Structures are given as C-alpha cells and as structure tokens.
Amino acid sequence: MSFDTFVVVDWSGASKPSPAKPSKDAIWIGIAREGGVEASYHRTRADATDTLATLFETERSTGRRVLAGFDFPFAYPKGFAEALTGTSEPLRLWQALAQRIEDAPDNANNRFQVAAELNDLFPGIGPFWGCPDTFGDPRLPKRGTQRDGHGMLERRKCDATPGAQTVWKLFTTGSVGSQALLGIPRLLALRERFGADLSVRPFEQQDTPITLVELFPSLIAHTVAALAEPDEIKDRAQVRILAGALRALDPQRLDAMTREGHPEEGWILGLGHEEALIRAAHRAIPQPCEAPMRSDPDSPLLPPRLRDDCFAMPQGVSWVPVDEALAKLRAALNPVTGTTTIATARAAGRVLAADVAARRSNPPMPNSAVDGYGFAHAATDSGVQRLPLVAGRAAAGQPYPDAVPAGHAVRILTGAILPEGVDTVVLEEDTNTNGTTVVFDGPIKPRANTRKAGEDMAAGELALAKGRHLRAPDLALASALGIAELPVHRPLRVGVLSTGDEIIAAPQLRAAPHQIWDANRPMLLSLAQGWHYEPVDLGHVGDDAEEIAERLHEGAREADVILTSGGASAGDEDHVSALLRARGTLSSWRIALKPGRPLALAMWEGVPVFGLPGNPVAALVCALVFARPALSLLSGAGWTEPQGFTVPAAFEKRKKPGRREYLRARLNEAGAAEVFGSEGSGRISGLSWAQGLVELPDGALEVTPGTPVRYIPYASFGLV
C-alpha cells in the first residue's frame, strides 16, 4: 500500500497550555503531501487532536491515504498489558488506560495519579516513576532507583535503540512516559471516530485510509540538525523533516516498514532503516548551497543516473597511485540497477535492495537442545535426584499438551518446545530410568540444555542488510525467519567488447599468422558471470571509429556498464580512446600500476565505459583491481575490497619505487608465494598457471625468500 499524506506529530505531556508564541517542547505537527511540507504549532492536546481529526476527514473524503506518526510509545514492555487487562493485546491496554486518564481541554490531567494507582497493581515499588516534588503520593517514587520488585521488564525490544527512554519514566528530560499516558487515550478516540478506516501498526495490519505508527525523531537527529532552517525550533524542524523523509522513501519499503515489529510491544518505525531515512530526508528537504545529491535507488522521483563528468581527473596529474584512483572511482559511482522482489529460494547471487528484518523470532519458542528429560529447575537440588515421569513425551513438531507439575520430569527430544513447567533439561546420557522415574546427579544448572526463544534472532531484528550479495547461508537465515520473498536489485548487465584489427573473434574462425584469437572477451564475460552479473556479449570490432561507436551505442541500450579491451592508450592506433575523447567524455587515468596502461574511463550515452588495456594480463589485473569494485558499487552491493593474506615470499625481486605491482602467483607446498617465471605482460599462460596475485606496495622493496608479501587468491577476487 502507498500513502499520499504524511503526518508527523511531536507530542507533549504538559499540564498547562503551551505559550501563545510558538515554542519548543510543545505539540508540533508536520505534514508532507503533494505541494510541499508544512508544520503547525498547537498549544493543547485537545487542539492538536481536533486538527488531526479534521485533517484525517479531509484526506479520507478525497481518497488520500494518510500515514500519521507519533513520537511516543504505543505499547509497554511485554507482560504489562497482561497484568492490566488479562490479555496481551496492546489495544485492550489502550482502553484500560483511556478509562483511567482524564485530560482536560486546557491540558490539566491526572497522569501521576493514574501512574500511582497502576503501580498499586504490582508488588514492590514501581514500575512507573518520576513526578514533581509537589506530588506527594508514595506509590509513585521520584527516582528510578527507588523502585523494587515490581516484576516488569524495563524496556521494550525497540527501546534498546540509543537515546530511547523507558516508558516508565514520567518526568524530566527526555521522558516519554507522560506522553504515552496522555497520548494513547487521544489516539484511541481517533480510532473510535474513524472505525474501520483507521489501523494502528504493527498491531493491525489491514490496509486502511488512515494508518498510525510510532516514531522516534532522534533516529535521524544529526540530519535534522543539518537540514533545519537557521534558528528553527528543533521540534518544528523534526516534524517537518521527518514527514518529508517519509514521503521521499520508496513506498513499498515504507509499507513494509510499517508492518515490522512485535505484536505486543509495538515498534518504532524506521529502526534499522536509518540510512534510508537519512537519504530520504536529504532528497525531500533542499539544503541551500549544497551540491545536488547523487541519485539513489530508493528515490521514487529520480532514475539512477551517473553524471557525464563523473570520471573527470584534474589535468596535469602525472601518475595517480592505485589507492587514489580507487577512491576517485568509488566517489564517482552509485548504484544504477532497479529493484524487484524475488522468491527467497531463488535469490542466491542477487544483491539485497533493502534491509530485511526477522518476521518471527528464531527459535520461535524455547526448546530443548538435546534428547533427555525436562523439569522445573526450582524443584531440584544437589545430590541424587529422583523425579517421577509424566506420561507421554515432548518431541520436535509434537508439543507436549499439558503442564509438567513441579517435581516431575518429562521425556523430551531435541527441538521439542519446552512444555509448561519445564525450564531445564538433563542430558539422556547422564540419567537412568526404569520408565516411571528418572534418576540423575544434581545440581543441574538452571536452563541447562535449553535454547531461549529468539536466542538466534528476535522478531524485528535486522536479519540481512541492504547491499548484501546473497549466498546460500543467507537463504537459510531468511527462510528460517519466515521471509518468503526478498527485495533485490536487478542484476547488473555488463557489456563486453573487444577491439583491434588483429583480433579474430572466436577460435572456431581461421586466423592468419598476423592475426590472434580474442582472449579477453571470454575472460571478461566469464568474470561478469562469476560475479553474478548478466554478461552481454558485444562481440569484436576492428580499429574503426564508426564500428566502435555503433557497438557502444548498442551496448548503451543493452547494458548498464561496458568493458572494452584494446585501443585504450593514447597512440595512433588507439581508436577506442580517440573515439571516446571525440564523442564521449573520456578521462584517461594514468595509474601507477604494473601491469597496466592508462585506464580509459568515459560515459557513453549515460553508461560508464571502462576501457581496459588490450594485453590480457593487464586486462585481467585492471578488471580485478578496478572494474570489480566499481561494478559491485554499480550493482547495489557497495564497494568491495579483496581479502589478501600475508605469506612468505618464495622468490627474489628488487622492486623499484613509483608504482604498485601485481605478480602472477600461487602458493607452494610450504605456503610460500612463488611467482610466474616471466613478468612479460603477453604471457597468458602465466595467468592460467597462477592461483592468485602477489601485490607489491607502491614504494621500493627488496624481496628475498621469506620476505612477507601480500597474496590475494583469485577466489578473493570472486574468480570461479
């Protein structure tokens, strides 16, 4: 479902109307919709609620779907609803709170009184705390540390986020407890007024004209500070910018985000998606004097595009060190592939297009880690334990239907849910049994041999992060968490073109002695395939500007990026660079690298072109060192660096300073790196002989046997 109107409310728990002059710590409402972003100031909760009701009415009557976010908790830690209402349903809790709360049109209210009464329902002191000195009810302690034995959890799962306060704290800086007590009844009133046209996420998942969610503006606090107008009141900036950001998010992603979370504790919209929110905020809110943002795959407005001058290098630079060239490349590029959804089982090799959260905890219920006997730990002790066995057993997929009384044990198998009354399991091998009693030596540690619910991953937790290149174990994780489909990038289409009058396209064709078969194209196409991209064979063309131009034209239509080989230097016969210089936007990067000639980088009809050297050795090294991370970035998977290992050298070499060198290498039986006999860059056999590359640093180096050198296996470059 997609939304049309985005509302962000900064709520307030004040006891008096806020000042007539717009000020901080009051209620602010931000609205983003077609036509722009606006913010309004409200002195009382009653006034703000009326404004919202009117807005919802108007939008509903014109068919515009509203997403409204509020900056206070919609729910309490697990267990509180049950204690108050006898059910774990948060909306029942809303009713129970609304029955108690009185909140007058002038903001006068009884929240501290209600909190004190609620505390009375619990043993000990608490869980609510914090009140002004004038409030003298001993049931509501002034300080959090004065609480004791109330039995409630301190935080909801989503309150673990940095800066989030607990729902129990009602007073002073940053507290949200009062906002919740005074906000929830107002939301309930709206819910009653709009009936089936309004749903509260994540508790209600149906599509309705009005959807309410919980927000936490501090999630993007730095961005708000950066994008605020000079001297703008912080609360105003927050609601304005966050509303704009929600509107600028990818609608599908936002819809999925509203559905995340815990059925009892709720969820803060946007947790785990901070980066996307921040980028959306930048798209939504123009910042004066800022360079235009690069396009982004999340943007519903801008198709991803690279700038024509993205490869520009300052003129006059002689030789660019490898690291500098890589940094330049990294800054120039961004993802260019669209996104789609795919069945999890078919997603291997694809790039994840959005963060994915666990739909359910794994394991969903506490269960047994071994075959053995389960019992309540509290009823056992040290020394010999004899526990009567209950009839039946608990097995994986066959839950034990009854409670196991304290002092009894039940036969339990690996993976079986712990029956009620069981919290500890003794390993079968450590017991003796006659079928009616089980005997073992105590003490057994509490919860021994059990797995906690969610100990692997809790519902709502980030399972797989955007940009991940999905592999077999990721499919296992997604499936285990109940995720049937994954948002992925379309595979990057990589065009490969060979050039040169001497080149014969394929070994099936006859080659005269002055001709050679094309070695680069099969190599580069297979690299693209191995990197899980879609190879697009653009064939071979002679050294003819028109032919090359025509093939690049085809490539720009059918591919997202083009790799050419040959003709990329600056000599007479270097037709690729000549053409790109004349009609594209060539930038010839003179990189301090051996083997390697200048790398020709250009944009051709909006598509980046990597002009690799013709020499197969140099072509492979440049493809691995430069094209690989660049393609990864274009594909949505982010920049990548190969993993290298320091190993002793099994060779000798006196390396001159000034450029980085890559040697064709492999490890000998002793684990030392040996290098190919010849460094000649025409020696294709050496590429095939090697299992990886030795990377020698830019400076001078005297290598003798045993000198530590960096070895990068082909596998680290994703070569298959």
For binding to ligand AMP (CB under 6 A), which residues are involved? Answer: 498, 500, 502-503, 516, 518-521, 565-569, 613-616
498 binds, among Mg ion, ligand AMP, none (CB under 5 to 8 A by kind): ligand AMP
Smaller CB distance to ligand AMP: residue 270 or 616? 616
Residue whose CB is nearest to Mg ion in the complex, by number: 500
CB of 618 to ligand AMP, least distance (A): 8
Smaller CB distance to ligand AMP: residue 270 or 598? 598
3-state secondary structure of 1: coil
Question: What does the CA dihedral 275, 278, 284, 288 come to, rounded to 10 degrees?
Answer: -130
355 binds, among ligand AMP, Mg ion, none (CB under 5 to 8 A by kind): none
408: Cβ–Cβ under 8 A, 6 or more apart, which residues?
375, 387, 388, 389, 390, 421
CB of 498 to ligand AMP, least distance (A): 4
CB of 304 to ligand AMP, least distance (A): 30
Smaller CB distance to Mg ion: residue 335 or 566? 566
Smaller CB distance to Mg ion: residue 159 or 543? 543
In sequence order, what are the beta bridge partners of 70?
9, 214
Closest CA to 252 of 59, 2, 479: 2
Smaller CB distance to ligand AMP: residue 521 or 551? 521
Smaller CB distance to Mg ion: residue 562 or 576? 576
255 binds, among ligand AMP, Mg ion, none (CB under 5 to 8 A by kind): none
CB of 500 to Mg ion, least distance (A): 4
Distance CA 670, CA 682 (A): 29
Smaller CB distance to ligand AMP: residue 467 or 596? 596
Smaller CB distance to ligand AMP: residue 255 or 502? 502
CB of 496 to Mg ion, least distance (A): 16
CB of 465 to ligand AMP, least distance (A): 38
CB of 614 to Mg ion, least distance (A): 5
Going through 542-675 in order, the beta strands assigned E by DSSP cover 561-565, 587-589, 591-594, 599-604, 607-612, 645-648, 653-655, 660-667, 673-675
Smaller CB distance to ligand AMP: residue 45 or 540? 540
Q: Helix, strand, coil proportions of the chain in percent (round to 5)?
A: 30, 25, 45
The tally of CA atoms less than 13 A away on the side-chain side of residue 711 is 23
Report residue 622 CA to chain centroid gap. Answer: 31
372 binds, among Mg ion, ligand AMP, none (CB under 5 to 8 A by kind): none
284 binds, among Mg ion, ligand AMP, none (CB under 5 to 8 A by kind): none
CB of 228 to ligand AMP, least distance (A): 53
> What amino acid is encoded at 329 in this protein?
L
| Binding-site ranges for Mg ion (CB under 5 A) | 500, 566-567
Q: Which tokens hold the place of 488?
A: 């992925």
CB of 518 to ligand AMP, least distance (A): 4
Distance CA 648, CA 42 (A): 71
Distance CA 522, CA 181 (A): 67
CB of 687 to ligand AMP, least distance (A): 11
Q: How many CB atoms lie within 10 A of CB 550?
A: 12
Closest CA to 540 of 523, 515, 565: 565
Q: Are 454 and 363 in contact (CB under 8 A)?
A: yes
533: Cβ–Cβ under 8 A, 6 or more apart, which residues?
491, 492, 493, 494, 631, 635
CB of 573 to ligand AMP, least distance (A): 7
DSSP secondary structure string for all residues of 505-549: S-TTS---TT-EE--HHHHHHHHHHHTT-EEEEEEEE-S-HHHHH
141 binds, among ligand AMP, Mg ion, none (CB under 5 to 8 A by kind): none
518 binds, among Mg ion, ligand AMP, none (CB under 5 to 8 A by kind): ligand AMP
Q: Which tokens hold the place of 417?
A: 């849910």
Distance CA 524, CA 494 (A): 9
520 binds, among Mg ion, ligand AMP, none (CB under 5 to 8 A by kind): ligand AMP
Strand-pair category, 503-504 with 516-517:
parallel
Smaller CB distance to Mg ion: residue 209 or 500? 500
613 binds, among ligand AMP, Mg ion, none (CB under 5 to 8 A by kind): ligand AMP
> What amino acid is encoded at 103 in this protein?
D
77 binds, among Mg ion, ligand AMP, none (CB under 5 to 8 A by kind): none
Continuous segment of H or E residues that includes residue 647: strand 645-648
Residue whose CB is nearest to ligand AMP in the complex, by number: 614
Smaller CB distance to Mg ion: residue 424 or 615? 615
